[in-house]
């Protein structure tokens, strides 16, 4: 199936402080099943026109926004699965995104223009992200059902949440390196009872999910705050269906 779609939406604001933020999304895509429906591919190309981008308004009360400029987001998304053997399902989800401001409003309050620069990737938007999954289901006996699964995720480098800096113009943004995470899970079930086991972040990565550099007086040391991914976590659980 080939398809095309155009959709629009908006986020209201408080006039006359700011104009409503507007999005127009254009998509073209392909959805296909093949190999006797054992394989699936879903590919989408998109372009988003982003006008009157809203940001928190400097010294205004919480929830009041102002407009910072205009932007765009474009890229592609891929979802694919294949089942080469009975009970085995392999999958891949990948995305490439370029999201940036194309024009910055010079009237936007400081310090935001120092961080939201036209032509630079927006904060918290990695250009690449990939997830590879594997799931295997089988029946050891006629009454038992078993499952093994896992997902490997890789997230490209990105900028931290620079909008969290509230007061000092010129304070630096936080650069978040790329990272990868492996999660595993298993379960065995009989009738209404299921025993589950899981291991999240198997390699115990200390990946940075978000962060910002705090402002400081001239010639004073800067402080950075970062939020890390959940450390390695292993657990078990029981489910009983009534």
Q: What would the pLDDT profile of 136-165 be if each residue is shown by its tens digit?
A: 999 999 999 999 999 999 999 988 765 443
Show the CA angle centred on residue 145, arms to residues 142 and 148, nearest 5°. Answer: 145
Distance CA 128, CA 37 (A): 28
Strand-strand pairing, 179-190 and 193-200:
antiparallel
Could you give phi then psi for residue 207, rounded to 5 degrees? -75, 145
How does pLDDT run across 4-42, given as a tens digit for each residue? 999 999 988 877 778 889 999 999 999 999 999 999 999
- The reported pTM is 0.81
pLDDT at res. 114:
43
**DSSP character at residue 121:** B
The reported pLDDT for the residue numbered 39 is: 97
Tell me how far CA of residue 6 lies from CA of 23, 26, 53, 75, 197, in angstroms: 11, 5, 20, 15, 43
Condensed to tens digits (0 to 9), the pLDDT of residues 163-203 reads 443 333 444 567 789 999 999 999 999 999 999 999 999 99
pLDDT in tens, 107-122: 665 555 445 677 888 8
């Amino acid at each position: 199936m080939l398809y095309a779609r155009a959709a629009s939406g908006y986020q209201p604001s408080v006039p006359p402080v700011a104009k409503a933020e507007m999005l127009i999304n254009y998509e073209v895509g392909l959805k296909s099943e093949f190999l006797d429906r054992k394989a699936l591919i879903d590919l989408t190309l998109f372009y988003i026109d982003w006008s009157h981008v809203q940001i928190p308004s400097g010294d205004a009360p919480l929830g009041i926004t102002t407009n910072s400029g205009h932007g765009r987001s474009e890229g592609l998304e891929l979802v694919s699965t294949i089942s080469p053997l009975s009970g085995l399902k392999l999958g891949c989800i990948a995305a490439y995104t370029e999201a940036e401001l194309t024009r910055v409003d010079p009237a936007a309050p400081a310090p935001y223009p120092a961080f939201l620069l036209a032509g630079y990737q927006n904060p918290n938007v990695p250009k690449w992200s990939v997830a590879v999954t594997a799931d295997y289901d089988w029946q050891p006996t006629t009454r038992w059902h078993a499952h093994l699964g896992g997902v490997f995720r890789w997230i490209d480098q990105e900028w931290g949440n620079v909008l969290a800096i509230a007061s000092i113009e010129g304070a630096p943004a936080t650069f978040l390196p790329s990272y990868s995470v492996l999660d595993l899970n298993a379960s065995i079930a009989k009738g209404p009872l299921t025993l589950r086991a899981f291991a999240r972040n198997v390699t115990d990565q200390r990946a940075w999910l978000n962060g910002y550099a705090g402002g400081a007086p001239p010639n004073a040391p800067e402080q950075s705050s970062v939020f890390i991914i959940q450390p390695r976590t292993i657990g078990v659980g029981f489910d009983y269906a009534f």
